[in-house]
Amino acid sequence: MNEKELYRQKMQAQLDEWKAEVDKLKAQTAGASADAQLELNKLIEGLEGKIEEGKTRLAELANASEDAWESIKAGVESAWDSITSAFSDAAAKFKK
């Protein structure tokens, strides 16, 4: 298996992990007050948007030629940094 495919699989696994984390967060909102649910639902929507962005970047990577994938990799890593940051922020808010 080539480096591009291994990288894509690694990123897909991380995306799957984030999706599972969002599902957990959704379950946690059920016990919150109505005001808290509104705020938490906004956070969850933002996270879901970031995950969709990650899926788009991953699709770009998968469709890239062997010569071009290294340049696309930088965009993928930037998106991943953004998603990771969003999850950290959301986790901090959920713990309040």
Are the C-beta atoms of 26 and 42 separated by less than 8 Å? no
Q: Is residue 84 part of a domain?
A: yes
| 32 within domain boundaries | no
Whether the pLDDT of residue 16 is over 90: the answer is yes
Task: Read off the pLDDT of residues 80-95 as tens digits, 9 standing for 90 and up.
Answer: 898 899 888 887 877 7
* 5 in a structural domain: no
Nearest-angstrom CA–CA distance, 23 and 54 = 17
Note whether 72 and 64 are within 8 A (CB).
yes
Q: Residue 14 — pLDDT band, cuts 50, 70, 90? A: very high
Examine residue 15 and state whether it is found in any structural domain, yes or no.
no
CB half-sphere exposure, 42, CA atoms < 13 A: 7
Name the residue with tokens 């998968």. Answer: 62
Whether 30 is in a domain gets the answer no
For residue 48, tell me if it sits in a domain. yes
| Domain total of the chain | 1
Q: Which position has the higher pLDDT, 43 or 70?
A: 43
17 within a domain of the structure (yes/no): no
Residue 70: domain span:
37-96
Residue pair 15/54 in contact by the 8 Å Cβ criterion: yes
Is residue 8 one of the residues assigned to a domain? no
